[in-house]
């Protein structure tokens, strides 16, 4: 097994991102590009979901059809051209959590959405034996290929056994710093990496397969809307938990 975050750290990140999605969906917004590059970090190592260049208003019960997003994170119903709804964001969250827990994507990317769809439909999404049963169950429910059966609400997300004794209260979640992120900030080479735009890169994590995870060659993005594509951020050279270098203004959602 290559480098990865501990399940305790993944639990904190999952709770914060789940709250962000629940907040957006309650206001009738689908993000459509939940991925590692669209996550910001606070000084204490907590997460903020950012970059709403592909988001749109979609009321509960509504349907969308535009194929957009980052191909490794796109739900099968998005890859197929819809219809899809807010459940697609929960699939993307499942892919992101899997990559944080293992250091790699569950399915290698394909060069186009049709090829990726065939692979996603045929892949069993088996959980590594190193996962705890509760984490395996959470990811299995998030990566359910049938969106009507997928874990797709914050209430159901909170009830997962993986979050036993975990608070979803914003103030309490933010109170305890994420130690692994603070340790990265204190490394002697942090200043040099900051000048190169790699301040929060996960590259210092020993054994983390950053080339396979987020190298430019492994990050094809599929956009059918030319105007939307112009606002889509370019891939980053490493698995940095920081905002992409897009052209438009960036907004944060504080959960």
Q: What is the total count of domains within the chain?
A: 1
Whether residue 71 lies inside any domain: the answer is yes
> Tokens representing 216?
């430019």
Whether residue 58 lies inside any domain: the answer is yes
Give the tens place of pLDDT for each residue, 45-95.
899 999 999 999 999 889 999 999 999 999 999 999 999 999 999 999 999
Whether residue 1 lies inside any domain: the answer is no
Give the tens place of pLDDT for each residue, 21-42.
999 999 999 999 999 999 998 8
DSSP labels for 226-248?
Answer: HHHHHHSPPPPSS--SS----SS
Please calculate the CA angle 254-141-3 and round it to the nearest 5 degrees: 70
User: What is the domain range of residue 16?
Assistant: 7-179+209-253
Look at residue 44 in the predicted model and tell me its pLDDT: 87
CA 181 to chain centre: 17
> Tokens representing 54?
């592909």
* Helix, strand, or coil (residue 202): coil
E-only strand ranges, 69-112:
none
Q: Catalogue the active-site residues.
A: 33
Is the Cβ–Cβ distance between 49 and 20 less than 8 Å? Answer: yes
Whether residue 200 lies inside any domain: the answer is no
CATH for 145: 1.10.510.10
Listed as ranges, residues in the chain with pLDDT below 70 are 1-3, 187-255
Whether residue 110 lies inside any domain: the answer is yes
Please calculate the CA angle 161-46-78 and round it to the nearest 5 degrees: 65
Whether residue 186 lies inside any domain: the answer is no
CA 178 to chain centre: 18
């Amino acid at each position: 097994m290559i480098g990865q975050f501990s399940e305790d750290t993944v639990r904190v990140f999952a709770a914060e991102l789940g709250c962000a999605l629940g907040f957006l969906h309650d206001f009738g917004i689908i993000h459509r590009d939940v991925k590692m590059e669209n996550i910001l970090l606070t000084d204490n190592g907590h997460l903020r979901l950012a970059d709403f260049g592909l988001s749109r208003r979609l009321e509960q019960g509504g349907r969308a059809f535009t194929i957009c997003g980052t191909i490794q994170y796109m739900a099968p119903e998005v890859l197929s051209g819809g219809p899809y709804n807010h459940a697609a964001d929960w699939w993307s969250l499942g892919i992101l959590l899997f990559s944080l827990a293992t250091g790699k994507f569950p399915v290698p990317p394909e060069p186009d959405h049709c090829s990726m769809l065939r692979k996603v439909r045929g892949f069993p999404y088996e959980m590594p034996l190193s996962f705890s049963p509760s984490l395996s169950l959470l990811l299995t429910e998030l990566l359910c290929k049938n969106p009507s059966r997928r874990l797709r609400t914050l209430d159901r997300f909170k009830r997962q056994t993986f979050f036993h004794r975990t608070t979803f209260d914003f103030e309490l979640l933010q109170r305890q710093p994420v130690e692994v992120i603070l340790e990265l900030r204190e490394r002697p080479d942090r200043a040099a990496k900051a000048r190169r735009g790699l301040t929060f890169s996960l590259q210092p994590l020993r054994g983390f397969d950053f080339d396979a995870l987020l190298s430019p060659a492994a990050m094809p993005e599929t956009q059918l809307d030319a105007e939307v594509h112009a606002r889509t951020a370019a891939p980053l050279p490493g698995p940095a938990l920081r905002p992409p270098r897009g052209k438009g203004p960036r907004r944060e959602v504080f959960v």
